[in-house]
Structure 1
Amino acid sequence: MNSQLFWKYFIPVFVFQLIFELGLFVYRDFFILFKDLGLGGSGTTFYGWAVGRLRFYAANADVLTGPRIPQTANPWQGRLNVLPQRKGPRPTIEGCTPQRQVDFPAPPNTMLAIEAMYDDFVTTPETADHITVRTSFLEPGLRALRRQLTIPTNERGGPLDPKSVALNSRDSYGGEIIHAHREGTAHVILHPADVKRVIEGGWGERHPFCASGIRLWLFKAYYNWFHGINIPVPEYLVITYAPRHAEDYAVLRQIIQAAVWYATEGRRFGLDANTYPIPPAPESTGD
């Protein structure tokens, strides 16, 4: 082949094809798939898509492995000791900011049904742990169940002085407990032991930003040590799959109760000797 023809025709065509295919990828990934995930996260603008994509590739980690339970956990162990195994395959969760379920669609009123459960956990302002419903701290525009902070707060309900609370602590995320998404999933902050039980029971998975492994430590190093700010989401955040029927809603209610219990350090829905009945001894099978 004539080298002049190669450089004159083949290379420009190759470059044009590469640019065209890249444009198709951006169009399909941003204008169609990314926007279909819905509101929240880094936003539905092109900048939000680019940030979300970079974060997703950086945080691509194992979301089905439970977290380590630190010795300083308060309460020291989880609450969800009795959690049934979810039947059926796991739904597909895509995205990072936002993170959403893309198959096994739930009824269109699922988010409203989940939000209706918030009222069962709301308390009066006079209580020691005031639980309220307000705009989500993590995903503004959504309604969330939150614990009112006892320190001065800003317009979003987060700490007025971020340096007054420890990085990655429950207070640093505005006391958020749960917020639901329009396709029926929900982001819930749980005790690390309960995060593990939710995953093992098949009811949800972790957020890529807080999944186990070296990537979490790299994220902490980048955000906490380099920038001196929180990682984008709480370390013990899980996404619960969209409920399909009454049994799923009953389990989700247990999960929300455990989240409120964790947010209040065990003061709400406290455990006692009768919370989980002691099972009888197994019958002897004989020799």
Structure 2
Amino acid sequence: MATSLTQANVLSTQSVITESLPTENNTPQYFSVTIRQDSLTVTLDGPTIFILSASLIFAIQFLQPVTVAVLIGLATIVLFVHNDYQNFIKLGPGGTPSTFTGYVRINWLKLWALRDPFKPLPSDQAAQPASGILAKKPLPYRCGPRPRVVGIAPQRQVNQFGSKECYLALRRILENHGRVHTEEMGIGTSCFEKHGLGLFSRYPVNNTCQGEICHVHNSDHSLHLNLHSEDAKEVIEKGWGQRHPLTSRCFLFKMPVPRQFTMVYAPRTRDELKVVCQIIEAAGWWVIAKEIRLDVLGEV
């Protein structure tokens, strides 16, 4: 059943730009964050090596072998969890709070996560609309290797962030689209991410998350959106994106994102921005079952 967006969830263009830093003349200054993921490393200086060696000798002499093994195992686990938690925090704000509780929740969801994000979503005969839209104009192949993607919620690229110019142009396109089609569309803060600029349908056919069509990440310039299974297959096979890890089917509980949830890599050039806009149009087709073209004139 189609539902309308409340005024609280669809905001004005001025109020949704929460990822910018105000300058003296009140002009938003956008920034990009370098997303680091560090491997587990331990650096020991001379005094630390001496203390550890003495402690190990003491433990071997006065404790049972099983106890020593357990203590060494626990120390290794603590180091691993600490490093993994720091990497989770470095992904930045997203749909999951950047807290230890959020970290625990994400690791629980990892047990049910999709193992192969490049395996297309099985077709659904009962889906409406019945077919995708990208078959009318197939996508070109994306040049070069895929970027490295880590995390679940948040899910981020850690390289190939794309250009700042393309990111700003994409934001302007989405904002203009919301203004031109104000009776059907709205812009606001992403319902999925709780951060970032989102494009919404006021009367969705497939109610994704309050009608969200797509949202763009300020940190890595990638996007999340929902696509018909045929369109998602086209995006994945042509190298433009991949399925979200939580789009696997779980019979114990409902996953926090729809099965159609797809990540699209950050556009690096104006030509790639055109393709990304075509994919966003396909996301709109899935959500509202209506073809509405993005106005990209002047931006690409």
Same fold (TM over 0.5): yes
SS at match of 1:77: coil
Question: What is the deviation of 1:126?
Answer: 6.7
Contact 1:190 1:237 in 2 (8 A): yes
Contact 1:108 1:183 in 2 (8 A): no
- 244-253 or 169-178, which moves further after superposition? 169-178
Distance in 2, Cα, partners of 1:24 & 1:113: 42
Taking every aligned residue pair, what percent have the same amino acid on both sides?
A: 32
Aligned to 1:173: 209
SS at match of 2:66: helix
Question: What is the deviation of 1:200?
Answer: 0.5
State the one-letter code of the partner of 2:209: Y
Identify which of 111, 129, 142 aligns with 2:196. Answer: 142
Establish whether residue 66 from structure 1 lines up as the match of residue 120 from structure 2: yes
TM-score by length of 2: 0.70
Contact 2:208 2:287 in 1 (8 A): no
Aligned to 2:231: 194
Q: How many residues align?
A: 232
State the one-letter code of the partner of 2:155: Q
Distance in 1, Cα, partners of 2:209 & 2:202: 11
Identify which of 204, 217, 222 aligns with 1:185. Answer: 222
SS at match of 1:122: helix
TM-score by length of 1: 0.73
Aligned to 1:243: 267
Q: Considering only aligned residues, what root-mean-square deviation do their CA atoms show, in Å?
A: 2.4
Distance in 2, Cα, partners of 1:36 & 1:137: 21
Distance in 1, Cα, partners of 2:291 & 2:275: 21
Contact 2:114 2:247 in 1 (8 A): no
Aligned to 2:170: 114
SS at match of 2:199: strand
- 115-124 or 71-80, which moves further after superposition? 115-124
State the one-letter code of the partner of 2:154: P
Aligned to 1:275: none
State the one-letter code of the partner of 1:103: N
- 65-74 or 44-53, which moves further after superposition? 65-74
Aligned to 1:222: 252
Question: What is the deviation of 1:107?
Answer: 3.7
Q: In the TM superposition, what whole-angstrom CA distance separates every residue of 1:145-197 from its partner, at most 9, and x where no partner exists? A: 011248xxxxxxxxxxxxxxxxxx83252101111112111101111110000
Distance in 1, Cα, partners of 2:291 & 2:160: 36
Aligned to 1:84: 140
Distance in 2, Cα, partners of 1:26 & 1:51: 14
Aligned to 1:42: 96
Q: In the TM superposition, what whole-angstrom CA distance separates every residue of 1:92-145 from its partner, at most 9, and x where no partner exists? A: 111111111122333456544432220242256773xx1110111111122200
